[in-house]
């Protein structure tokens, strides 16, 4: 068994009176790929955003690689610098791409290596071009984001996250905003990353993809982890009624 | 019928030129000063701190809701008595006009910043940027583009508002015009010339802004 790259213990988060995460525990091994599935509003995005601290948990413990944060009434709030350093090591890909509109494709990918890692311009450019080649978009380096298709935008967003050489990659419904014919190219990029040994947590509604690429599936409902097991077992033979009922929506329409 | 004779103005050409230089320099100072004040006030309003928010709001409304003429006079006569610091007429003018302009700039800047989708800031943070860096490198550059027309408008007002500093005897274009008018007994020609001078400086600027607006506004 590999050592855990991501470890989450007793994580809780409420927005006002709404309890969105209620005591979440799970871990991801180094190089592991976990797909997070569940109905809308079950707290998947919130959990993912807690993992890179875009959302501050109310209590619990999060560790990624060698960095660890405790939350709760007795722990001091993390400092701005510590938060930034933590996020620099966890790549995040958003449903809506969020490419920087004022920068070229290359500028998008170079920005963080240049400003956060403080690499020299030449090295940052080389790194960015290498990442763009990886997602097959080196020839688009000088274009502005609004001239790209959705699938290309999302691949640039992946290259941008990879340019920070993160220890883990988090995907929040990376293909949900895409036209069906563009989903494949983004999934292929994610599959290649998984094959290359990246530790990944993927929130997705692409059940077939989750079954194929993830080695574990975590099913969430109402802020709780309901089922957590090997991908094929959970999809093909769910143990919990809630999981069965959720998956039935997907089996009904052939993928 | 009044007989116009603009040739008498030639004798005052150096006076007018001094006035134009003063007016333009003042404008540069109060546009830059106003932008600085406005940026600070906007950041205050957007900050998480309740004290900063309240302070920025109070500042903005104070300067937005009182006449600039009153502010100019107050800064020159009352402020030195309260603080014990002597202010030259020019310093008092720059101070008052920067704060007055800043109170309007701040609303423009705040509006521009909140118009940028939060995903932009979040994407910056997710890459390891501090909130300040994400603001400076990601949000502000995009917000600025959207703000340019409104900022230009406000700067044009700043330019025209400098005409009020003559009440503090700052030798701007209007003040020099007054001197020329008293001296020549030709106020009609003099003030017409002053008005034309303002127009001649501003018109090319506003046309330029319109042109830019059409060019970039259409591309969005
Ligand atoms: N910043 C916030 N403020 C208040 N409520 C929030 C906030 N973020 C999320 N919520 C609420 O928390 C609940 C869980 O949201 P979350 O986005 O984590 O769900 P999800 O599982 O990702 O759903 P979906 O599949 O629709 O994306 C929802 O009821 C949502 O309205
Ligand atoms: Mg979600």
Strand pairing class (A18-29; A4-15): antiparallel
pLDDT at B220: 44
**Residue A198 counted as domain residue:** yes
Residue A96: exposed, middle, or buried by beta-carbon count in 10 A (0-12, 13-18, 19+)?
middle
Average pLDDT over residues A161-187: 94
Place of tokens 């910056």: B124
How many CB atoms are closer than 10 A to CB A15? Answer: 11
Q: How confident is the model at residue B217 (pLDDT cuts 50, 70, 90)?
A: low
**Residue A178 counted as domain residue:** yes
Ligand 1 environment, Cβ below 6 A? A 15, 18, 20, 38, 40-46
Quick: pLDDT tens for A199-242.
999 999 999 999 999 999 999 999 999 999 999 999 999 999 99
Considering only CB atoms, which chain B residues are within 8 Å of A94? Answer: 119, 122-123, 126
Quote the mean pLDDT of chain B.
92
Domain ranges of chain B: 6-219
What is the whole-number distance in angstroms between the Cα of residue A45 and the centre of ligand 1?
A: 7
B152/A62 Cα distance (integer angstroms): 48
Quick: pLDDT tens for B24-59.
999 999 999 999 999 999 999 998 899 999 999 999
Q: What is the dihedral of CA A8, A10, A15, A18, to 10 degrees?
A: 130
Cβ-Cβ contacts under 8 Å between A and B: the total is: 64
Average pLDDT over residues B129-134: 95
pTM summary value:
0.86
CATH of the domain at A169: 3.40.50.300
Q: Give chain A's domain count.
A: 1
Q: How confident is the model at residue A151 (pLDDT cuts 50, 70, 90)?
A: very high
Taking a C-beta distance cutoff of 8 angstroms, is the pair A201, A48 a contact? Answer: yes
The arrangement of secondary structure in B6-219, i.e. its CATH architecture, is Orthogonal Bundle (1.10)
Ligand 1, residues A11, A16, A44, A219: which to mutate, most atoms within 8 A of Cβ? A44
Place of tokens 């400086």: B201
Considering only CB atoms, which chain A residues are within 8 Å of B138? Answer: 100, 111
Quick: pLDDT tens for B94-107.
999 999 999 999 99
**Residue A133 counted as domain residue:** yes
Question: Is the pLDDT reported for residue B219 higher than 70?
Answer: no
Average pLDDT over residues B116-127: 96
B30/A58 Cα distance (integer angstroms): 46
**Residue A252 counted as domain residue:** no
Taking a C-beta distance cutoff of 8 angstroms, is the pair B126, A116 a contact? Answer: no
Range of the domain at A199: 4-247
In angstroms, what separates the C-alpha of B127 from chain A's closest C-alpha?
5
Complex ipTM value: 0.93
Backbone phi, then psi, for A238, in 5-degree steps? -65, 140
Question: Is the pLDDT reported for residue A255 higher than 90?
Answer: no
Quote the mean pLDDT of chain A.
92
Tokens standing for residue B134:
């994400």
């Amino acid at each position: 068994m590999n050592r855990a790259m991501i470890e989450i213990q007793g994580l809780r988060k409420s927005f006002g009176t709404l309890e969105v995460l209620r005591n979440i525990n799970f871990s991801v091994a180094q190089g592991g790929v976990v797909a997070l599935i569940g109905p809308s509003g079950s707290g998947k995005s919130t959990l993912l955003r807690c993992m890179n601290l875009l959302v501050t948990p109310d209590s619990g413990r999060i560790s990624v690689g060698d960095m660890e944060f405790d939350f709760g009434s007795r722990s001091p709030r993390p400092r701005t610098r510590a938060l930034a350093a933590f996020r620099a090591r966890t790549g995040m890909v958003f449903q809506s791409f969020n490419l920087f509109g004022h920068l070229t494709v290359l500028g998008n990918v170079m920005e963080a290596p240049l400003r956060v890692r403080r690499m020299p311009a030449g090295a940052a450019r080389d790194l960015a071009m290498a990442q763009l080649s990886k997602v097959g978009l080196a020839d688009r380096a000088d274009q502005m984001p609004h001239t790209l298709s959705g699938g290309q935008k999302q691949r640039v967003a992946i290259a941008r996250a990879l340019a920070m050489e993160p220890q883990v990659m988090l995907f929040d419904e990376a293909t949900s905003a895409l036209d069906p014919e563009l989903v494949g190219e983004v999934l292929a990029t994610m599959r290649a990353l998984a094959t290359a040994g990246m530790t990944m947590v993927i929130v997705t509604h692409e059940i077939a993809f989750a079954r194929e690429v993830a080695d574990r599936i975590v099913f969430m409902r109402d802020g709780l982890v309901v089922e957590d097991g090997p991908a094929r077992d959970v999809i093909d033979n769910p143990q919990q009624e809630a999981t069965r009922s959720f998956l039935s929506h997907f089996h009904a329409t052939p993928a | 019928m009044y007989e116009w004779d603009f040739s008498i103005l030639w004798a005052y050409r150096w006076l007018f030129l001094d006035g134009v230089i003063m007016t333009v320099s003042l404008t540069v100072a109060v546009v830059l000063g106003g932008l600085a004040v406005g940026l600070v006030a906007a950041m205050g309003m957007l900050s998480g701190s309740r004290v900063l928010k309240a302070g920025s709001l109070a500042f903005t409304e104070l300067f937005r809701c009182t006449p600039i003429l009153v502010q100019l006079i107050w800064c020159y006569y009352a402020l030195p008595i309260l603080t014990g610091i002597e202010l030259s007429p020019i310093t008092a003018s720059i101070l008052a006009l920067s704060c007055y302009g800043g109170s309007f700039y701040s609303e423009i800047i705040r509006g521009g910043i909140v118009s940028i989708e939060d995903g932009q800031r979040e994407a910056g943070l997710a890459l390891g940027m501090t909130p300040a860096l994400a603001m400076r490198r990601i949000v502000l550059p995009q917000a600025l583009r959207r703000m340019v027309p409104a900022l230009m408008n406000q700067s044009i007002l700043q330019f025209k508002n400098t005409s009020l500093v003559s009440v503090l005897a700052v030798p701007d274009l209007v003040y020099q015009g007054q001197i020329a008018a008293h001296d020549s007994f030709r106020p009609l020609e003099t003030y017409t010339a002053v008005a034309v001078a303002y127009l001649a400086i501003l018109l090319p600027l506003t046309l330029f802004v319109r042109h830019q607006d059409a060019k970039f506004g259409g591309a969005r």
